[in-house]
Every structure is written in structure tokens, then in C-alpha cells.
Amino acid sequence: MRDVKSIGHAAGGLVAQTLITLADGDHTPSYIGLGRKAPGGKLDVVLFEDGLDGAKAWIAKKDKVDAVVVGLDESEKEVRLLLGSPDAKRKYDMICSVRYEVKDASVVKKSAKKNKATCLVSTSTIGFLAETDDDVVADTFLDSVLAGIYGHARAADLDVGKLGDYDDLE
């Protein structure tokens, strides 16, 4: 049995961590996989040194009940999520994207001196393409990704949705 809620929550936390790490100027891996091979099993984290090709090959293997890839595309200023599918006919159940903008550290520091809170990163809403016909899977995944983002220890540094709807961005 899949646990779309917990894998989505973990993926949301990873999206938040990716954005915070990027804003802090630290090294951020481009592609990270999260998956479990058995219901209730431990969640394994995989880093892909061969980028998107390695991530796609990993998620396409049907040896996992839960699998998601979080990918950072700095040139497009986008974080993407791929929710694996247990259906042999397709690779993904959901493809999601969040656009982001990292604020200049000097602006954040000036605001802090004036006792004004300024978030380090602004994002769009989550854009998505549901490859599954199961609305419960799609809704649960999206809701839990958001919960994972908002539940991150540094969620206050993220201004989720500030850039508007994903579809409205150019």
C-alpha cells in the first residue's frame, strides 16, 4: 500500500530545504530521490550524480512502493517533483513544479535592521500535471507537499505563493 501522504510530506520538506540551502549560498544537489521498497519501510535518500537521467532511471524501476524525485533547475529557477507510479504503463503519477526567486542577502539584512521580516525566498504556487486518474492520490500528494514545506524548521524564510500562480508566470 502506498503512503502518498508521507512521501509528499517528505518531498515538501526537501523542497523547502533545497530552497533554503540555495538562499544560504550552500551547495545544493540537483536531483534527490526519496523512496521506500516496502510499505512502512524506512525512507531511503538517493543523490544522483548523473543528474536527471539517473533520477529518471531510478524512479522508473518498479521495486519501490513510494518514490519521488526532487530536482533543482537553477537556470529555470524551478524546483520539480516527480511522483513515481506503481502502474507499469507510466513512470509518474504526478509532475509538479514550483518557481522561485532568491532575495539578495543585503536586502534581507537591511529589512532585519528595521525590524521588518523579509523572506529569503519567494515561490509560485505549485503547478502540476496529474498523470493518474486517482484524484485522491493527486490531492493527497499536493496537500502533503505543501504541509511539508510549511512544516520545515525554516518555513518562515519562505514566502510560498508570493510570485503568484505557477501557470501565470512567464
Summarised one tens digit per residue, pLDDT across range 11-49 is 999 999 999 999 888 888 899 999 999 988 999 999 998
For residue 106, what pLDDT is reported?
55
Residue type, 70: V
Summarised one tens digit per residue, pLDDT across range 93-123 is 999 999 999 987 655 455 445 555 578 899 9
What is the spatial distance between Cα 119 and Cα 99, in angstroms, rounded to a whole number?
15
What is the spatial distance between Cα 146 and Cα 16, in angstroms, rounded to a whole number?
10
* Res. 130 pLDDT band, cuts 50 70 90: very high
Find residue 130's DSSP bridge partners.
94
* Domain positions in the chain: 4-99+125-156
